[in-house]
Structure 1
Amino acid sequence: MKYRPILRRIFLSACLLGLPWAASANPPNCAFEGHGGKPGFAPDRLPPFLNGISLDEAQKTKITELLKTQGEALRGKAETGHQARKKLMELAFSSDYSDDKAKTLVEADAPALMEVAIGHARLDHAIFELLTTDQRRQAQENLANFKERFGKP
């Protein structure tokens, strides 16, 4: 039972990671039903926390390269996470539901979901490190505005 709060945090973090992309006026391709495309980052689209920030060409090139390389590594893990959420949703809307079955599904996929969450954080940090002091301030303001609009995760 000591794992329950940890698993809950991992699952909620994985679900909430998609919110900034969903709120973006320029969302990346995703694997959710009806949207098509592959999960993960689209290297031709910048993360929404960079909206309104003027980047020079060198920064854009480096960020695109990060999105390609690290995004590719996350793609398979993100698909695993998507399949886990899909299985959990299918279970939730079936007559076969039980907390034990739901817990088993979440526990089985928790390592992949955790890797995706850490991978997203690592990628965001690598992008943040490429920004100037003023650009970092703007990115933090964008995140604060997002939290204000959609509530704190």
Structure 2
Amino acid sequence: MATYYEDIDVGDTHTFGDRTISKDEIIEFAEQYDPQTYHVDEDAAEDSMFGELIASGWHTASLCMREFVENIADEAWLGARGIDELRWIKPVTPGDTLSMTVEVVDKRPLEDDPTVGHVDTRLTAYNQDDEAVITWIGLGIVARRDAEQS
């Protein structure tokens, strides 16, 4: 069942996840997309400011996006206008298990297109110690069930 613009309220909150990140997937992602030494080489990472191998922030963001799509976004979620306030708060290391919370922080219809509305969500991912590791505001576009309702 689709979740349309009319079904969403500011303050709605969803929690999901429990995704454990392995050393191999950290290195594999980084080798392809972000080959900085502290993402691909354990020895070099020990000498970095992080002191150990860490996941690329882009890897962390991608994992969170995957969880968002699998747990919230459905056919009524049509895409996004972008992301605001992206922050990598704490490095993600091999063996960390991430869970996410998504809260609807703003909602408004589009006056020039009555078929969709804007729904802004704050995603925050936490590690197994309940420490925030990443946060952003997603600027979603969601289909409206009935253009006469708002």
TM-score of the pair, normalised by structure 2: 0.23
Give the number of the structure whose residues are more often strand, by fraction: 2
The TM-score, its normalising length taken from structure 1, stands at 0.23
Choose between structure 1 and 2: higher helix proportion. Answer: 1
Q: Which has the larger radius of gyration?
A: 2
